[in-house]
Amino acid sequence: MLKSLQNDILHEAESKDLKVIIISAEGPVFSSGHDLRELTEEQGHDHHVEVFRICSEVMMLIRNHPVPIIAMINGLATAAGCQLVASCDIAVASDKSSFATPGVNVGLFCSTPGVALGRAVPRKVALEMLCTGEPISAQQALLHGLLSKVVPEEQLEEETMRIARKIASLSRPVMSLGKAMFYKQLTQDLGTAYHLTSQAMVDNLALGDAQEGIKAFIQKRKPTWTH
C-alpha cells in the first residue's frame, strides 16, 4: 500500500500538467495505518525497519513534492492514517470524520505519527491523543490546526475540488518555489528565514509567470501562465 501510494505520488511529478494532488479513500475509513500482521515478531526486525523506512519516506515525499497535496477525509483516520492527514499540505474533512493515534492500545506508541501530529497541533492536544489513544472529532481537529477546513459530508468533494481547481488555475513554478521555501524557512531563526525568503521573492520575480501576473494585474486582465 505504501509503495503503491509512493508510486502514485511520484507519477508524472515533473510534468507541467500536474498542478495538485488529492489523496482520498473509498468507504468509511480514510486510513487506519499499518497492518499489525506486518509487525509481528515472526516478520522480524529487518522487516520492521523496512516498514517504517518506507512509511517515513512517503511522508517526506509529500513534503518535498513540487505541487500541493490535499488530503480529503471522510471517515476515520488513525495511526499512520492520521499521520498521512497531518503530513499533507492542506486537509479538508467531512464533519463525520475523526482522528486518533491509538497505538498505545496495542502496546505500540504512535511515535512516527507523533512527528507529523506534533508539528500540526499544540503539544498538549498531541500528547493527550498519543497517551490515551482516544479520538478527536473533525471540529476539534480543525480547532487545533490538524485540518484546513471541515464541511458537511455532502459538500466534501465539492469544497475539496474548489480548492484544488483554484490551485490548478495558478502558476506551477510559482507554487513549487513557494511550497518548498515555506517549509525550508519555517525551522530557521528569523534573520535566516528573511534572508532566504527575500532571495526567493527576487527569484520569483524573475520568473516569466510573475512578470505576466503583475502585468495582467496592472492591465486589469486575466494572466496567461506559461509555467
Name residues contacting its own copies, limited to 183-202 (CB under 8 A): 185-187, 189-191, 193-195, 197-198, 200-202
Q: How far apart are CA 97 and CA 153, in angstroms?
A: 9
> How many other β-carbons are positioned within 10 Å of the β-carbon of residue 19?
20
**Does the footprint of its own copies cover residue 131 (CB under 8 A)?**
yes
Binding its own copies (rule: CB under 8 A), the pick from 82, 93, 120, 150 is: 120
Sheet holding 29-31, edge to edge: 29-31, 76-78, 98-100, 136-137
Q: Give burial (CB, 10 Å; 0-12/13-18/19+) of 226.
A: exposed
106 HSE (CA, 13 A, CB side): 12
The answer to whether 167 and 20 are in contact (CB under 8 A) is yes
Least distance in angstroms from the C-beta of 75 to its own copies: 19
**Does the footprint of its own copies cover residue 206 (CB under 8 A)?**
yes
Least distance in angstroms from the C-beta of 88 to its own copies: 8
Binding its own copies (rule: CB under 8 A), the pick from 29, 109, 139, 157 is: 109
**Does the footprint of its own copies cover residue 204 (CB under 8 A)?**
yes
The number of residues making up the chain comes to 227
Cell of 186: 519555517
Stretch that binds its own copies, among 6-14, 23-31, 153-161, 172-180 (CB under 8 A): 172-180
**Does the footprint of its own copies cover residue 77 (CB under 8 A)?**
no
**Does the footprint of its own copies cover residue 40 (CB under 8 A)?**
yes
Least distance in angstroms from the C-beta of 76 to its own copies: 16
> How many other β-carbons are positioned within 10 Å of the β-carbon of residue 210?
18
**Does the footprint of its own copies cover residue 219 (CB under 8 A)?**
no
**Does the footprint of its own copies cover residue 170 (CB under 8 A)?**
yes
Binding its own copies (rule: CB under 8 A), the pick from 84, 147, 150, 156 is: 147
Stretch that binds its own copies, among 8-16, 24-32, 152-160, 205-213 (CB under 8 A): 205-213
Least distance in angstroms from the C-beta of 28 to its own copies: 20
Stretch that binds its own copies, among 1-9, 23-31, 142-150, 152-160 (CB under 8 A): 142-150
Q: For the chain, where are the E strands, in sequence order? A: 21-23, 29-31, 69-73, 76-78, 90-94, 98-100, 136-137, 149-151
